[in-house]
Structure 1
Amino acid sequence: MGVEMISMLVASLCTVLGALPVLLITNLSHKGRDVLLAYTAGVMVAASTYGLIPSALKLSNVPVLITGILVGTVVLMLLEILLPHQDLEHEVGKVSRSSILLFIIAMSLHNVPEGLSVGISFASEYRDLESIVAFVIGLQNMPEGFLVALFLLLQKVHRLKMMVLVCVTACVELLAALVGVWFGQFFSDVIPYGLAFSAGAMLFIVYKELIPESHGDGNERVATLSFIFGFISMIFLTDIMG
């Protein structure tokens, strides 16, 4: 197994790694839920602003960055409008199987441009880019995996089934990464758009879903501190490992 395959596999499996802590949750209080969501939001904002966006700018320019962010935002907004929307807790036990399936489809679609970005980076002429992209995407996959698992747990999905569904979203990203490697030489210019797309999609999720949800039960102060701690943690990890 080559270095490229190992890097793509690790980046994708980070989604599963991020979901593992959810297995330890037995009785999650409103306050604990808000703290976890806010921490996840902080990590995702830092991954976007400190990792994905600088990487996109390094390969392109501001117009490309803005285009990618806007496309990512619009796509997630359309998915949010078209797919049945469920709050993370307000509808516990009332979510249909079709709604859960649509949620998984939405998160899987979100993983496609991320996987393509990783794969294309290995096939591109920018040899110093591949490790950066794989690291940033892998690191931000962990809070995404946590978010998916937390949603499923709060909807009373069996833990084994929850992990299987998380693995499905990870596999989608891995397949997209393989496609990126196979056809990367033809689509190397897509990398900055994919990075910016992922940043826009994550920022939409944070502002539209995570922050409002973490402030819904009167825990605004502790949630805000958790958000900042998550933001700092992601910057610290990116700095020492980058």
Structure 2
Amino acid sequence: MFDTLIEYLGSIAPVNAALIATVFTWLLTAAGAAFVFFFKQMNRPLLDAMLGFTGGVMIAASFWSLLAPAISMSEGEGFVKVLPAAIGFLGGSVFIFVLDKFLPHIHVNFKRAEGIKTPWQKTTLLVLAITMHNIPEGLAVGVLFGGAASAISEATISGAVVLALGIGLQNLPEGIAVAVPLRRMGMSRRKSFFFGQSSALVEPIAGVMGAAAITIFTPVLPYALAFAAGAMIFVVVEEVIPESQQDGNTDLATLGFIGGFTIMMILDVALG
């Protein structure tokens, strides 16, 4: 089945393949958000373990799926070879840093808002926070599909599919992390689900843009891969890991992180 999927996605335009893959990741976010139809509250230790899992998947994907191929495909030796990855990595980190400072948003615990002052409701701010996480995820998938279509050996269709699978898995808890707190605040199940799933709608947009950009400007591929990695790691270190440990469930969050990293590493090495 996996081979059939790879063959099919490799036979269509990279933009279409990226769209299919990122719609899949969005659907898993929607599946997580659908938890509000069954539960009004989420067990906090379990949520923290799932957030840790999310962080582990994102860190593993950043290295195995993005940074390692970016370095491998760069020309030259020594400092010259690693320079594109370093520039892209720093660029992605700075990009999310700037968004974090200026884009109004709030985290799962609702304790404080970040970014510029705004009268927007907490609902909107929470969705914006998760949306900010999803931009580099969609971009990473699209960039890999674009690179594979450009016949770059370090970027493969199977690697892009595995990355989409890993991101989809960690999107499940992200959907829960948006929708369940909104339900707990008194919002209806339908509205909580709507806002929960809408936080990942940016992934297909970013994925299509990433695939299209790489098919036109193939030489920027190592920079683009590292850019997505830098953005993802910034999100994990600045938001996901601290959020998972705020309520004292540090052991569960750490074990979740280890589990997520291990699963993504196995998927990427065995299938990618």
Name the TM tier (shorter chain): 0.7 to 0.9
Q: Which residue number in structure 1 is paired with residue 115 of structure 2?
A: none
Q: Is the 8 A contact 2:66 2:140 kept in 1?
A: no
| 2:263 pairs with 1:219 | no
Q: Residues 135, 58 of structure 1: CA spacing in aligned structure 2 closer, same or farther, 3 A cutoff?
A: farther
Q: Which residue number in structure 1 is paired with residue 140 of structure 2?
A: 114
Q: Which residue number in structure 1 is paired with residue 71 of structure 2?
A: 57
**Cα deviation, residue 146, structure 1:** 3.3
2:35 maps to a residue whose letter is L
Q: Which residue number in structure 2 is paired with residue 8 of structure 1?
A: 18
Q: Is the 8 A contact 1:116 1:194 kept in 2?
A: no
| 2:231 pairs with 1:231 | no
SS in structure 2 opposite 1:155?
helix
Identity percentage of aligned residues: 26
2:182 is aligned, of 138, 152, 155, to 155
Q: Residues 169, 38 of structure 1: CA spacing in aligned structure 2 closer, same or farther, 3 A cutoff?
A: same
1:228 maps to a residue whose letter is I
1:48 is aligned, of 62, 75, 88, to 62
**Cα deviation, residue 135, structure 1:** 2.5
TM-score normalised per structure 2: 0.75
Counterparts of 1:101 and 1:87, CA distance in 2? 9
- More displaced 10-residue stretch of structure 1: 64-73 or 134-143: 134-143
1:89 maps to a residue whose letter is N
Q: Residues 31, 163 of structure 1: CA spacing in aligned structure 2 closer, same or farther, 3 A cutoff?
A: closer
2:88 is aligned, of 65, 68, 78, to 68
Q: Which residue number in structure 1 is paired with residue 5 of structure 2?
A: none
Q: Which residue number in structure 1 is paired with residue 117 of structure 2?
A: none
Q: Is the 8 A contact 1:15 1:145 kept in 2?
A: yes
Give matches, 1:93-132, under 5 Å: 95-96=121-122, 98-100=124-126, 102-103=128-129, 106-107=132-133, 109-110=135-136, 113-114=139-140, 116-126=142-152, 129-132=155-158
Q: Residues 190, 132 of structure 1: CA spacing in aligned structure 2 closer, same or farther, 3 A cutoff?
A: farther
SS in structure 2 opposite 1:126?
coil
SS in structure 2 opposite 1:189?
helix
**Cα deviation, residue 179, structure 1:** 2.5
1:126 maps to a residue whose letter is I
Q: Residues 239, 62 of structure 1: CA spacing in aligned structure 2 closer, same or farther, 3 A cutoff?
A: same
SS in structure 1 opposite 2:246?
coil
1:24 is aligned, of 24, 35, 38, to 35
Counterparts of 1:10 and 1:189, CA distance in 2? 24
Unaligned ranges ≥5, structure 2:
1-7, 75-80, 113-119
Unaligned ranges ≥5, structure 1:
none
Give per-residue Cα distances to partners, 1:60-106, cap 9 Å, x unaligned. Answer: 121111111111111101111101231212359x9445535644663
| 2:148 pairs with 1:134 | no
**Cα deviation, residue 29, structure 1:** 1.6
Q: Which residue number in structure 2 is paired with residue 84 of structure 1?
A: 104
How many residues align? The count is 238
Counterparts of 1:28 and 1:91, CA distance in 2? 17
TM-score normalised per structure 1: 0.83
